[in-house]
Structure 1
Amino acid sequence: MSLHNSSVKAEFLLLGFSDHPELQSLLFAVFFSIYSVTLMGNLGMILLITFSSNLHTPMYFFLCMLSFTDACNSSAIAPKLLWDLFSDKKTISYNGCAAQLYFFCFLVDSESFLLAAMAYDRYIAICNPLLYTVIMSRRVCGQLAIGAFLSGTISAIVYSTNTFHFSFCSNEINHFFCDISPLFSLSCSDTYLQEITLMVFGSFVEAVCLLAVFSSYICIISAILKTGSAKGRKKGFSTCASHMTVVTIYHGTLIFIYLRPTAGHSMDIDRATSVFYTLTIPMLNPLIYSIRNKDVKIAFRKIISRTLLL
């Protein structure tokens, strides 16, 4: 029976981790801890950058935007997941499901374009250091950030409209949030054309972002290798290490989950991978950018010192 029937269409049932009822309490504790650390880490990074004058540079402006995106991305998924782990009726309204998918896609692709903008920033900083402040002006940084979020908006519209224009024959989503593939599996009609369309579109977005990153890093590595001293080369590579780590983890996970053939998918593997990129990666990003970052450590110590002196 099609979900065009208004009484059925009103809500979806998120099966989530209901096949492991004995783990609900443990999963709640783990996910709540991850989400708490994610919010503290990313919001803390935003506040640190905002109130530390020595971090008012293009690099940290983009890091601030990245932290904002990570905090929002995790918040689009985690609160509902935590609620469902202790709820008997794990439902989400039709409009709520559409909104969750829209904001999730918007934030995921916005982050991809922000990472590309950050790669361009590192390219200018290393390959054109004398013109860095001129090229990466506040206006240019603002335009790159706005461009990233506009691109994310376009992607979200494409993904959500292609997913929700179907009739659904079931309301049981075998996932812990409203994602594209589980929703396609509920369709009454053939989704092959839409799946190919979204895969081509997703591949294009990934290709554009990764091309920007790789092009920037080819130039960066070339410039670093031309540096005369070993100390200079080490400093150059350490400047980009955090960003490359985040790019590798983030895009590698997205490619694995979304751009591989749908046949033979294991739901347990998909759920575990989804937990990693929706909850774990947003938690790891501020840690990766702060653990070996001297500027962040100095700014943090200054903030602590000011607080203690008050």
Structure 2
Amino acid sequence: MPNLTAVSVFLLRGFSAVPELQLLSAATFLLVYLAAVLGNISIVAAVTLDTHLHTPMYLFLKHLSLVDICSMSTTLPRALVATVLGSGEISLLACASQLFAFVCLGSTECFLITSMAYDRCLAIYRPLVYQAAMGPRTCTSLVAAAWASGLLFSAFHTANTFSLPFCSPTIDHFFCDIPPLMRLACANVDAHETAGFAVSGCIIMSCFALTVLSYVRILATVVRIRSTAGRWKAFSTCSSHLATVLLFYGTGSSAYMQPTARYSPLQGRMAAVFYSILTPTLNPLIYSLRNKDMQGALRRLYL
């Protein structure tokens, strides 16, 4: 990848454009970060140690929690330290590494969510063949494919972004992300933006379409169940995942599915708070509040 940039060090603006709000924002996000890490570590520990949770659904959930821990740790700690110290400097290599890790983890989460939708669809639509179809080898292959696909997807976006020449070092964001970096480019970004949209659109829309098709099949199966209790039990097994799907695609699309020319720094920071901070924080709550198996495992873990 040719190094065409004249910038060797970037300057991150932080959580807020108002200096007086920086420390307050940092204190708030520190508490949120600690809560998110504790919640996701609890999910990982409970699934790992409790044999009752050694099923495909909880295997995917464990990896989803691992992704959430790593994703938040990629962006928040550095932003918090920079806010406290009053210096948001980040080197070109560190910025590229942060972007690579964040995009990799976000896309891996997308693939994991799709695998979880397929798992729930198979469990409800074809329960008699579920155990055979979702064996350990299949689950391991799906998880490995999610991580490998995330790495490839991230490698493309990192190369596509950092092959641009940058004229300004000030990133109007609290971490290195694609839209604010594109705004700093000296050259015409249309070709890079089109390539990014094409690749992202094909992959993300494919995952979204597969998830929607899985839920269409789930809904069609649930409707045919005669008893109300049976329908409720079937739907409750995928309600937590459905909430995660809506949260993930709802917050992510608001940040990335718009041209660079229409990008607003304030809206970008707000969207980033939702998809990079609140979503990983809420996922453990979503999967534990209504899940009796997870609640029991967490009680056994801490009591």
Q: TM-score of the superposition, structure 2-length normalised?
A: 0.96
Are residues 1:249 and 2:244 paired?
Answer: no
* 8 Å Cα contact 2:36/2:280 also seen in 1: yes
Does residue 1:85 correspond to 2:101, yes or no? no
| 1:20 matched residue in structure 2 | 18
CA distance in 1, matches of 2:23, 2:129: 55
Partner residue of 2:272? 274
**AA at the equivalent of 2:61:** L
Post-superposition offset of 1:56: 0.4
Whether 1:143 aligns to 2:141 is: yes
Identity %, equivalent residues:
39
Q: CA deviation at 1:229?
A: 0.3
Contact 2:183 2:260 in 1 (8 A): no
Return the alpha-carbon distance in structure 2 between the equivalents of residues 17 and 227 of structure 1. Answer: 49
Say whether the 8 Å CA contact 2:104–2:150 is kept in structure 1: yes
Q: CA deviation at 1:73?
A: 0.4
Question: Aligned equivalents of 1:290 and 1:132: distance in 2?
Answer: 24
- Take 2:239 and 2:215, find their aligned partners in 1: how far apart are those partners? 11
1:126 CA displacement: 0.7
Does residue 299 of the first structure (1) align with residue 300 of the second (2)? no
Give CA deviations for 1:82-140 in whole Å, capped at 9, x if unaligned: 01111222100110000000000100000000000000000111111121111100100
Hey, what's the Cα distance between the residues in 1 that align with 2:17 and 2:252?
25
Q: What SS does the corresponding residue of 2:297 show, helix, strand or coil?
A: helix
Q: What is the one-letter code of the residue matched to 1:248?
A: L
**1:81-230 to 2 correspondence within 5 Å?**
81-230=79-228
Aligned-partner Cα distance in 1 for 2:182–2:18: 24
Alpha-carbon distance change, 18 to 214 in structure 1, aligned in 2, over 3 angstroms: closer
Provide the C-alpha distance between the structure 1 equivalents of 2:213 and 2:227, rounded to a whole number of angstroms. 24
Which residue does the alignment assign to 2:9? 11
Tell me, which stretches of 5 or more residues in structure 1 are unaligned?
A: 306-310
Match of 2:69 in 1: 71
Structure 1 pair 57–253 and aligned structure 2 pair: CA distance change class (3 A): same
Give 1:259 shift.
0.9
> Aligned letter for 2:229?
K
Q: Structure 1 residues 20, 103: CA separation in 2 closer, same or farther (over 3 Å shift)?
A: same
Stretches of structure 2 that go unaligned for 5 or more consecutive residues are none
* 1:231-252 CA-partner distances (Å, limit 9, x unpaired): 0001111111110111011111
CA-CA distance at 1:221 after TM superposition: 0.8
Q: Distance in 2 between matches of 1:4 and 1:266?
A: 26
Across the two proteins, how many residue pairs are aligned to each other? 301
Provide the rounded CA distance (Å) in 2 between the counterparts of 1:293 and 1:299: 10
8 Å Cα contact 2:22/2:83 also seen in 1: yes
2:216, 2:271 → 1: CA distance? 30
2:284 aligned counterpart, secondary structure: helix
1:129 is paired with a residue whose SS is: coil
1:238 to 227, 236, 250: 236
Provide the residue aligned with 1:308 in structure 2.
none
Cα distance in 1 between the residues matched to 2:293 and 2:80: 35
Whole-angstrom distance in 2 between the partners of 1:208 and 1:256: 18
Tell me the amino acid that sits aligned with residue 301 of structure 2.
I
In structure 2, what is the Cα distance between the partners aligned to 1:4 and 1:292?
52
Task: Give the superposition deviation at 1:264.
Answer: 3.4
Change (3 A) 1:4 1:191: closer
| 8 Å CA contact 2:64, 2:112 repeated in 1 | yes
Quote the Cα distance in structure 2 between the aligned partners of 1:50 and 1:17: 35
The letter of the residue matching 2:203 is V
Q: Which moved more, 1:246-255 or 1:98-107?
A: 246-255
Query: 5 Å matches for 1:255-266?
Result: 255-266=253-264
Q: Distance in 2 between matches of 1:110 and 1:91?
A: 28
Contact 2:105 2:150 in 1 (8 A): yes
Root-mean-square deviation (CA, aligned residues, Å) is 1.4
**Within 2, Cα distance between the matches of 1:121 and 1:133?**
10
Q: Structure 1: how far apart are the matches of 2:4 and 2:118?
A: 47
Amino acid at match of 1:67: S
1:33 correspondence with 2:9? no
Instruction: Report the alpha carbon displacement of residue 263 of structure 1 after superposing the two structures with TM.
Output: 3.5
Offset at 1:11? 1.2
